[in-house]
Amino acid sequence: MKIFLIVIDGMGDQPVPELGGKTPLEAAFKPNLDTMASHGICGLVNPFLAPGEDKATSEGAHIGLFGYQDYFLGRGPYEATGLGMKLKNGDVALRANFASVNSEMEIIDRRAGRIEKTEKLIDSLNNIKIDGVKFLIKKALGHRAVLVLRPKKGLELSANISKGDPKRVGEKPLEIKPMDETAEAAFTAKTLNAYLNKAHQILKDHIVNQKRICKGEVSANYLLTRGAGQLKSVPSFKERYGLKAACVAGGGLYRGIAEILGMKLVSVRGATARTDTNLKGKISASIKALKKYDFVFCHIKAADSLAEDGKFAEKKKFIEKIDENLFPLLGLKNVLTLITGDHNTSCVLKSHCNDPVPFLLWGGGWDKKVLFFSEKECVKGSMGRFNQEELLRKVLVLKNN
**Mean pLDDT, residues 110-116:** 95
Q: How far apart are CA 47 and CA 388, in angstroms?
A: 5
Compute and round to an integer the Cα radius of gyration of the chain: 21
Q: How far apart are CA 398 and CA 401, in angstroms?
A: 5
Percent of the chain residues topping a pLDDT of 70: 100
What kind of fold does domain 2-73+233-400 have according to CATH?
Answer: Alkaline Phosphatase, subunit A (3.40.720)
C-alpha 295: how far from chain center: 20
Per-domain residue ranges of the chain:
2-73+233-400, 81-229
Q: How far apart are CA 143 and CA 208, in angstroms?
A: 14
User: Phi, psi at residue 332, to the nearest 5°?
Assistant: -65, 140
| 383 has a pLDDT exceeding 90 | yes
Question: What average pLDDT does the chain have?
Answer: 96
Q: How far apart are CA 183 and CA 187, in angstroms?
A: 6
Q: Residue 357's pLDDT is what? A: 98
pLDDT in tens, 236-249: 999 999 999 999 99
What's the maximum distance between 2 C-alpha atoms anywhere in the chain? 64
pLDDT in tens, 251-282: 989 999 999 999 999 999 999 989 999 999 99
| 284 has a pLDDT exceeding 90 | yes
| 401 has a pLDDT exceeding 80 | no
Q: How far apart are CA 188 and CA 190, in angstroms?
A: 5
Q: How far apart are CA 222 and CA 224, in angstroms?
A: 7
pLDDT in tens, 12-68: 999 999 999 999 999 999 999 999 999 999 999 999 999 888 999 999 999 999 999
**Mean pLDDT, residues 91-112:** 97
Q: Residue 399's pLDDT is what? A: 83
Higher pLDDT, 364 or 348: 348
Q: Residue 87's pLDDT is what? A: 94
DSSP state, 235? -
Q: Residue 382's pLDDT is what? A: 96
Q: What is the pTM of this model?
A: 0.88
C-alpha angle 123-125-131 in degrees, rounded to nearest 5: 140
Dihedral sign from CA coordinates of 250, 251, 254, 258:
positive
- Surface-to-core class of residue 154, CB atoms within 10 Å of its CB (0-12 exposed, 13-18 middle, 19+ buried): exposed
Dihedral sign from CA coordinates of 11, 248, 224, 181:
positive
pLDDT in tens, 180-225: 999 999 999 999 999 999 999 999 999 999 999 999 999 999 999 9
CA atoms within 13 A on the CB side of 32: 15
Q: Residue 106's pLDDT is what? A: 98
pLDDT in tens, 147-167: 999 999 999 999 999 999 999
